[in-house]
Structures are given as structure tokens and as C-alpha cells.
């Protein structure tokens, strides 16, 4: 209650000043590209992000696949000093609408990874969620928008990486910062820099999945 009364208006103002114009964001589930200056949106300078944005239609889901970066799994007894790709990574689903509210996130240790080290994410409305989009089937599910949403907004999904380890050159930090290039060019640069760690996204139907 104190936050809502005293700090939420300031936070929303910072987002409004710093966030990209929603109408200028090019949509395309395959266009994961590095984000520019996110200012008031995300305040940790050790994090960098690649993102995509997609429109929803009934029965439409986003499927994202890539190689998972290794991390110190301290929550399950891992060492803080072991050599890993990054300190931390996660995938988040946000609404592509001011002030870009977060819907759901999965941290590195919450992400299902297969025997080859790859993850598969499904982002969908609850009613569109495939029955096999479960951890038991090797899939991590994220909600497209908050429950009770009457008009489904476009979704923007972020892959975040924090503090790459020495010698690891495929984190988001290795992607060149945007300098006004088109979304297609930026996505190509990100895919080249991240190699198999690049999140490949597609739109498909629940039935197809």
C-alpha cells in the first residue's frame, strides 16, 4: 500500500520517460535483438537483454528454443566459485504496453533443460496452453498476459544474462549494442554473436505444438 501510494507514480513516470514507444517496436517472434537503453525499466547494469514482440490471436503461442547457459546453481547446493557461462540468466514474459508490466519469469534454475542442454519455452494465454507444455515434458511455460485480461495485449519476451564468465563469448553482453539498425539486422547480429545460445522464436498454434 505504501509503495502504491508513494513510489508507484514515480516508477511509472520513469518507465514512461525511458521505455521505447510501443508503436515503434517491430513485431516478430524470430526477431530477438539486443535492447537499447532501458533506463527506468530495468535498473541492474550487470544485466543485458535480447527481446522479441508478438501479437496474439486465438490459439497462437510463442515457442522459444536455445542452448541454456550454465550458472552457479546455489539454490540447489552449487558452489558460488565454480566456473560457469554466466552468473545468472532468465526468461521473462511482459505485456507490450506502457508501463511494460511483467507477467511471469523463469530463472535459470526453474527452466527445464533437456539432455543436450537446450531449453524450450512456450508463452501463451492459459486457454491456449498445450497439454504437453509442462516441465515433465521438458517445457517451461510462461503466461502471455495476466489472468483476467479482457483485451490481450502484444507480448514481449526477454532473455536476460548477467555477468558472463571469463572466456564465454555468447551471452547477451557479446551482442553489439543497437545503433539505429533495423530489427532484422539487430536479430542477425544477435544470432551470430550468441550462436547456439540465441533464442530462436516462432509463432505456431496449440495444435501444431
- How many other CB atoms sit within 10 Å of the CB of residue 182? 12
**Torsion sign (Cα): 209, 25, 199, 151:** negative
Q: How are beta strands 118-124 and 140-143 bridged, if at all?
A: parallel
Query: What's the CA gap between 7 and 15, in Å, rounded?
Result: 12
Cell of 93: 514474459
Strand partners of residue 128: none
pTM of the model: 0.90
The answer to whether the CB of 94 falls within 8 A of the CB of 101 is yes
Q: What is the dihedral of CA 186, 192, 195, 199, to 10 degrees?
A: 20
Mind listing the pLDDT tens digit of every residue in the chain (209 residues)? Answer: 887 888 878 777 776 666 667 888 999 999 999 988 665 556 688 999 999 999 999 999 999 999 999 999 999 999 989 899 999 999 999 999 877 888 999 999 999 999 999 999 999 999 999 999 999 999 999 999 998 888 999 999 999 999 999 999 999 999 999 998 999 999 999 999 999 999 999 999 999 99
C-alpha 20/C-alpha 41 separation (Å) is: 10
* 187: phi then psi, degrees, rounded to nearest 5: -65, -40
123 grid coordinates: 508463452
Amino acid at each position: 500500500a505504501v509503495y502504491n501510494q508513494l513510489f508507484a507514480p514515480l516508477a511509472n513516470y520513469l518507465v514512461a520517460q525511458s521505455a521505447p514507444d510501443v508503436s515503434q517496436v517491430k513485431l516478430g517472434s524470430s526477431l530477438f535483438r539486443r535492447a537499447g537503453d532501458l533506463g527506468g525499466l530495468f535498473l541492474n547494469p550487470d544485466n543485458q537483454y535480447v527481446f522479441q514482440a508478438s501479437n496474439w490471436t486465438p490459439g497462437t503461442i510463442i515457442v522459444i528454443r536455445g542452448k541454456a547457459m550454465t550458472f552457479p546453481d546455489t539454490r540447489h547446493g552449487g558452489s558460488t566459485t565454480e566456473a560457469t557461462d554466466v552468473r545468472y540468466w532468465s526468461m521473462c514474459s511482459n505485456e507490450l504496453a506502457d508501463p511494460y508490466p511483467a507477467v511471469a519469469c523463469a530463472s535459470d534454475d526453474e527452466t527445464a533443460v533437456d539432455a543436450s542442454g537446450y531449453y524450450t519455452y512456450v508463452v501463451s494465454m492459459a486457454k491456449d496452453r498445450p497439454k504437453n507444455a509442462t516441465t515433465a515434458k521438458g517445457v517451461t511455460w510462461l503466461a502471455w498476459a495476466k489472468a483476467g485480461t479482457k483485451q490481450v495485449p502484444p507480448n514481449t519476451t526477454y532473455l536476460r544474462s548477467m555477468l558472463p564468465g571469463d572466456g564465454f563469448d555468447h551471452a547477451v553482453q557479446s551482442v553489439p549494442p543497437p545503433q539505429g539498425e533495423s530489427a532484422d539486422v539487430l536479430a542477425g547480429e544477435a544470432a551470430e554473436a550468441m550462436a547456439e545460445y540465441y533464442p530462436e522464436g516462432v509463432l505456431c498454434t496449440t495444435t501444431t505444438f
